[in-house]
Amino acid sequence: MTRPADYAPPFRPADYVAPPTDPEDERIEVGILVVGAGPAGLACAIRLGQLLEDAPEIRERLGEVPVAVVEKGRQPGSHLLSGAVVNPRALRRLFKGRHRIEDMPFYGPVDHESVYFLTPSRKLRIPTPPTMKNDGNYVASLSQLGRWLAERAEESGAMLLPETPAEKLLVDGGRVRGARTGDKGRGRDGEPLGNFEPGSDLVARVTVLAEGTQGHLTGVALNRFGLAGENPQVWALGVKEVWKVARPLDRVIHTMGWPLRGGAKYREFGGSFIYPMGDDMVTLGMVVGLDYRDVELSVHDLLQELKTHPLVRGILEGGERVAWGAKTIPEGGFVSLPKQLHAPGLLICGDGAGMVNVPALKGIHYAIESGSLAAEAAFGALQRGQTPWTPGALAAYDDAVKQSFIWSELREVRNMRQAFGRGFWLGGALAGAMTATKGHFPPGDRDTERDSEQELIRAGGARSYPAPDGKLTFDKLSSVFASGNKTRDDQPSHILLRTDVPAEVAELWERMCPAQVYEATNGGVTVTPSNCVQCGAITAKGGRLTPPEGGSGPEYTLT
């Protein structure tokens, strides 16, 4: 019996917690530090700007830079990837009286939608499950929406620092003091090169972690302050492409079934999405739970296989792939939320906390809402004259999340993801019963099991992956190229894992990684970190992703 969890990576959270080390006059002081320029972090910065606009005396107290947002990508949006059909609820609240939905970079409302169950050559239209209905929602590229939100954040007075990964959590006297940013210009073995620039201590009154899925400092903070919930987080991997197409697609499509297998022993839970982006583009992606067991499963190649289905081939015919990317999605939902979302001087929001509604495939509006609530809680503490790092000063954030639609909606669907671990048909029936009873059935909470603890099997997952033809189907290296990744290949490896692993684990990683970072060898695995698109799957399945040098990784613009 082989499980990736038995080959734990050489990673200790404590190595990423430290007090500030720069001399006091060299530290960069900001009022509120936001880590991550995704929808959660940017909503937080925008809401803070709005609140500070009406409270000049508090703005004054926060110093020269009241709000700073650090982002590891080359620019805001470079590391953002989603479906995306967006529920506009949280955006409406954030921009009330300032911007209308029509002013935002959306490709339009969802007018029609279809859900299909696929077999290798057929499609069976099924009624849209209530959790998947998209009336009133809008299609977007999250990368584009992120760039627009970043402009609004700058307008509201936030300082945006791209190419700046937060690498260490600064903790002093039991309270979070900020974050230390990563060094630049180190060689493969960590040696400083000619252009070496050390990282800096960014110190703040409140640090808001909005790092998204597999947040590096979020994991470190959950560990340091004992915030993790009872159940471990679990993830899915999403791989997507954007195509220029010859004919407009008139509806949002979701599929279930093929090319995934339904048997309980495979634990293959997921499906595909196909969304129109205006008249001449379509985005499509495959999402698969990382609790799968077959070492031969590759989500990248399942997406290639999906495109050979008559339904999908017909949509893409005469078109051309223009972008590609991959990212994980936290899927544990309500039962895997941290037991507390704050610590002295610290708030956690968005995907980092696991705020995703899996049956609806939606997390963007939860990210925006939780970012806004984090801003309100931080501002509230300052307004009351409380020192934000006194224990409990930020507890209003937990209360606000619990009163919000994030909490009630996640609670209702809390057991759905776990049901699908019992196979597609039984899982589907249980999910139907949960929907009909608004989450009352089954009573209680179903536990999650760590993705890396699933026993591996070899079940012929690879046998039907199509050979890449460079037109409809592609290999992983051409996909990495389409992600815009230009990472220099002589930087230190940011992926921590054991390389002396059994053949099953090596093959699991090789197939799983959508960016061809791993190659199984005789006796282990070799790693090419510069291909990495920072999807986070390796952290779920037995390794540990840390933030690489700032500006590395994909340069998404349309995902």
Q: Which does 537 bind (CB under 5 to 8 A by kind): ligand SF4, ligand FAD, none?
A: ligand SF4
- What, of ligand SF4, ligand FAD, none, does residue 240 touch, CB below 5 to 8 Å by kind? ligand FAD
513 is an interface residue for ligand SF4 by CB under 6 A: yes
| CA 292 to centroid of chain Cα atoms | 19
Nearest to ligand FAD of 81, 501 (CB atom): 81
- For 403, residues 6+ apart whose C-beta sits below 8 A from its C-beta are none
Q: Is 375 in the site for ligand SF4 (CB under 6 A)?
A: no
- From the list 68-76, 156-164, 410-418, 535-543, the region that binds ligand SF4 by CB under 6 A is 535-543
- Residue 545 binds: one of ligand SF4, ligand FAD, none (C-beta under 5 to 8 A by kind): ligand SF4
Tell me how far, at minimum, the Cβ of 146 lies from ligand FAD, in Å: 7
Rounded Cα–Cα distance for residues 490 and 185 (Å): 10
- Pattern 378-417, binding to ligand FAD, x per CB under 6 A? ----------------------------------------
329 vs 360, beta carbon nearer ligand SF4? 329
Q: Is 536 in the site for ligand SF4 (CB under 6 A)?
A: yes
User: Could you tell me which of 140, 142, 144, 145 has the C-alpha nearest to residue 277?
Assistant: 140
Residue 37 found at the interface with ligand FAD (CB under 6 A): yes
533 binds ligand SF4 (CB under 6 A): yes
Name the binder of 513 from ligand FAD, ligand SF4, none, CB < 5-8 A by kind.
ligand SF4
Pick the closest to residue 427 from 440, 417, 436, 435 (CA basis): 417
Is the backbone peptide bond immediately before 9 cis, with ω within 30 degrees of 0? no
Q: Which does 39 bind (CB under 5 to 8 A by kind): ligand SF4, ligand FAD, none?
A: ligand FAD
What H or E segment, with its residue span, contains residue 32?
A: strand 32-35
Please tell me the count of residues contacting ligand SF4 according to CB under 6 A: 13
Considering only 31, 88, 215, 421, the residue that binds ligand FAD (CB under 6 A) is: 215
Query: What six digits make up the tokens of 522?
Result: 């005789």
Q: In this structure, are residues 40 and 367 in contact, taking their beta carbons and an 8 Å threshold?
A: yes
Q: Please report whether residue 485 would count as binding ligand SF4 according to CB under 6 A.
A: no
- Give backbone dihedrals phi and psi of 126, rounded to 5 degrees, phi first: -120, 155
- Between 333 and 423, name the residue whose CB sits nearer to ligand FAD: 333
Residue type, 118: L
State the helix-helix crossing angle for 39-53 and 142-155, rounded to 10 degrees: 20
User: If you write DSSP's letter for every residue of 512-535 in order, what string do you get?
Assistant: H-TT--EEEETTEEEE-GGG----
Q: Return the number of other C-beta atoms located less than 10 Å from residue 126's C-beta.
A: 15
Q: Are 485 and 78 in contact (CB under 8 A)?
A: no
CA dist 517 and 511 (Å) reads 10
Please choose, from the candidates 238, 269, 216, the residue with its C-alpha nearest in 3D space to the C-alpha of residue 426: 269
- Rounded least distance, CB 356 to ligand FAD, Å: 5
Does residue 83 bind ligand FAD (CB under 6 A)?
Answer: yes
Helices and strands: H and E segment counts in the chain:
15, 26
Q: Report the interface residues with ligand FAD, using CB under 6 A.
A: 35-41, 70-73, 79-86, 142, 165-166, 210-213, 215-217, 238, 240, 285, 287, 327, 329, 350-352, 356, 361-365, 367, 547
Q: Report the interface residues with ligand SF4, using CB under 6 A.
A: 495, 513-515, 517, 532-538, 545
